[in-house]
Amino acid sequence: MMMDAEERKDSILKDIARRIFERFDSHRQLWERAIGCLSILDCLICLSVYSSSGDMCKPIFLESSDKPYLFIKEGRHPCLTQTAMGGDFIPNSVTVGGKNGSGFDIVLITGPNMGGKSTLMRQVGLIALLAQLGCYVPAEACEMTLVDRLFTRLGATDRIFMGESTFFVEMNETASILKHSTVHSLILMDELGRGTATYDGTAIASAVVSELVRLGARTLFSTHYHTLVEEFSQEPKVGLGHMACMVENENDEDPTQETITFLYRFVPGACPKSYGFNAARLAGLSDDVIREGHKDAKQFEREVALARAARIIATSEDDEKLAQAVRLFLRMNAC
């Protein structure tokens, strides 16, 4: 009797639940409209509250017929208020494109490892996105033309279940950017080409920058390939910027003696080194390993510089470039 009663109870409860869900489903469209309205209201309230918090500014949009342009004065990351070390977040100004045909379409960003390059790029993308949502942005001033699409190639990941390596995913995303972007797009590319051999990575990064120069879209392109910076340093559409740092006890022979302080300031020009051995030291690699790696790096740098100088001497007809290449060749041979 008890078992029979339990079965009848379960059957009745299931039928009640079915009828409740059926009745709820009969008003599905009404619920969907209500949920949609609440979602929009929630977003608008959030944007309103955020716009009224702290030092915010109203973005100014220029005519879409103008040359693509983006100017952010003393912008801050919308999601960060402090640095990793606990200090106040340091604002930065960024200009890409220009009014009346002036300015740089592409900015090559260099700087030390952990110096803030990726954070700066994410900051610019989020500010542009918030501006086009109709929200105030965390900056002293923001002026821009409309962005039709925002493309990012940031971070490193693979798709192991699809048999796609980290580098393949990187190339796939890059191909999509080059295929679908227009002159009015905003492109953020972080350390393109790092997933393969140095020569392959540098060559691919160089070819992509050349294509982006032809396209003319607003682009921030961070890299640790300093030969890339040298290659495009004279290109009128390409600007150079880096995340500043302060180096104490700089030692070309023993990087374990160096102390690097990140300033998190975006300034014009190129950074002379990436200070990768500093990141290795902070991560806990032993001094012996770092010194051995640094010795190999110096030898590799010497070989690359000699090969580059020899190629210029053999092919260039520019007297100034020839003189520089000869001086470099002699200096490297004397080392």
The residues with which 80 forms a beta bridge, in sequence order, are: none
Q: What is the b/e burial string over 1-13, where b = at least 16 CB atoms within 10 angstroms of the residue's CB?
A: eeeeeeeeeeeee
Rounded CA separation 41/256 (Å): 55
Distances (CA, A) of 21 to 18, 33, 35, 45, 149: 5, 18, 17, 32, 41
Instruction: Give the domain ranges of the chain.
Output: 54-274, 286-335
Tens digit of pLDDT at every position of the chain (335 positions) = 677 777 777 777 777 888 888 888 888 899 999 999 999 999 999 999 998 887 899 999 988 766 899 999 999 998 887 665 556 788 999 999 876 555 799 999 998 888 889 999 999 999 999 999 989 999 999 999 999 999 999 887 878 888 888 888 889 999 999 999 999 999 999 988 887 877 888 889 999 999 999 999 999 999 988 888 888 988 899 999 999 988 887 767 777 778 888 889 999 998 888 888 888 888 888 888 888 888 887 777 777 766 676 666 666 666 666 666 666 556 655 55
- Interhelix angle 319-334/287-315, nearest 10 degrees: 140
- Whole-angstrom Cα Rg for the chain: 27
- Supply angle C-alpha 76, 180, 162, rounded to 5: 90
Residue 220 CA to residue 266 CA, distance in Å, equals 12
What pTM, to 2 d.p., does this model score? 0.81
CATH of 54-274, one of 3.40.640.10, 3.40.50.2300, 3.90.1150.10, 3.40.50.300: 3.40.50.300
Query: Helix 2-26 and helix 28-51: axis angle, to 10°?
Result: 70
